[in-house]
Chain A
Amino acid sequence: MLTFLAKGLLRDRSRSLFPLLTVAIGVTLVVFMDSYLRGATDAMFAATASFVCGHVRVATRAYAKAGADATNELALLGVDSILGELKRDFPDVTWTLRTRFGGLVDVPDSMGETRVQSPAAGMAIDLSPESPERKILRLEQSLASGHLPSAPGEVLLSDDFARRLDVKPGDKLTLVSSTMNGSMATYNFTLSGTVRFGVSAMDRGAVLADINDIQQALDMPDAADAVFGFLPVAGYDDRLASRLAARFNSGRDTTDRYAPVMETMRLASGLGSMFDLIGAATGLIVSIFIVAMAVVLWNAGLMGSLRRYGEVGVRLAIGESKPAVYRSLLAESFLIGLAGSVLGTLAGLGLGYYLQEVGIDISGMMPNATVVIDDVLRARVTPVSVYIGFVPGLLATFVGAAISGLGVFKRQTAMLAKELGS
Chain B
Amino acid sequence: MENGVVISTDKLVRKFKVGRTELVALKEVSLEFRRGEFAGLVGPSGSGKTTLLNIIGTLDAPSSGTAVVLGERVESLSPVRAASLRSRHIGFIFQTFNLLPVYTAYENVEFPLLLLGMSQSERRKKVTDALEWVGLADRANSRPTQLSGGESQRVAIARAVVKRPELVLADEPTANLDAENSHKILQTMVSLNHDLGTTFLFSTHDEKVIRYLRRKISLIDGRVANDEVRSPNSD
Chain A residues with a Cβ under 8 A of chain B: 1, 4, 7-8, 11-12, 310-311, 313-324, 413-414, 416-418, 420-422
Contacts and interface: CB of A to CB of B under 8 A. Distances in A.
B80 A323 contact: yes
Contacts of A315: 111
B100 A416 contact: no
A2 to B, nearest CB: 10
A319 B114 CA distance: 11
A319 B88 contact: yes
B96 A422 contact: yes
B88 A417 contact: no
B100 A321 contact: no
Query: Of A11, A318, A323, which is in contact with the most chain B CB atoms at under 10 Å from its CB?
Result: A318
B80 A321 contact: yes
Contacts of B79: 321-322, 413
Nearest to A9: B102
A317 B100 contact: no
A11 B92 CA distance: 26
Given A8-B103, A314-B98, 13 more contacts: A1-B115, A7-B102, A11-B103, A317-B92, A317-B94, A318-B86, A320-B83, A321-B83, A413-B54, A416-B59, A417-B171, A420-B171, A421-B96
A315 B103 CA distance: 13
24 contacts: A4-B103, A12-B102, A310-B98, A311-B100, A311-B101, A314-B98, A314-B100, A316-B83, A318-B86, A318-B115, A319-B86, A319-B88, A320-B115, A323-B80, A324-B83, A413-B59, A417-B94, A417-B171, A418-B50, A420-B94, A420-B96, A421-B50, A421-B96, A421-B175
Contacts, number: 90
A417 B85 CA distance: 17
A4 B95 CA distance: 25
A418 B83 CA distance: 18
A17 to B, nearest CB: 13
Contacts of B166: none
A319 B83 contact: yes
A317 B92 CA distance: 7
B132 to A, nearest CB: 21
Q: For the complex of A and B, list the 7 residue pairs with the smallest distance between their C-beta atoms, beginning with the closest.
A: A319-B87, A414-B60, A319-B86, A321-B83, A421-B95, A413-B59, A11-B102
A283 to B, nearest CB: 41
B100 A320 contact: no
B217 interface: no
A316 B79 CA distance: 10
A1 B114 contact: yes
B37 to A, nearest CB: 20
B59 A414 contact: yes
A12 B172 CA distance: 29
A417 B86 contact: no
Query: Of B90, B98, B107, which is in contact with the most chain A CB atoms at under 10 Å from its CB?
Result: B98
B84 A318 contact: no
Contacts of B171: 417, 420-421
Contact of A317 (B59, B107, B175): B59
Contacts of B159: 318
A421 B171 CA distance: 7
Interface of B: 50, 53-54, 57, 59-60, 79-80, 82-88, 90, 92, 94-96, 98, 100-103, 107, 110-112, 114-115, 159, 171-172, 175
A415 to B, nearest CB: 8
A305 to B, nearest CB: 15
A313 B87 contact: no
Given A7-B107, A413-B60, A414-B60, A321 B98 contact: no
A414 B87 CA distance: 16
Contacts of B114: 1, 4
B98 A313 contact: yes
A179 B136 CA distance: 103
B98 A420 contact: yes
A317 B94 CA distance: 10
B184 to A, nearest CB: 21
A422 B98 CA distance: 10
Contacts of B60: 413-414
A307 B40 CA distance: 33
A66 B124 CA distance: 87
A314 B57 CA distance: 13
Contacts of A7: 102-103, 107
Contact of B86 (A4, A317, A414, A420): A317
B87 A417 contact: no
A417 B59 contact: yes
A421 B98 CA distance: 8
A319 B103 CA distance: 18
Query: Of A4, A311, A321, which is in contact with the most chain B CB atoms at under 10 Å from its CB?
Result: A321
Nearest to A317: B92
Given A4-B114, A12-B102, A421 B172 contact: yes
Nearest to B159: A318
Contacts of B110: 4
A7 B107 CA distance: 10
A69 B74 CA distance: 89
Contacts of B59: 317, 413-414, 416-417
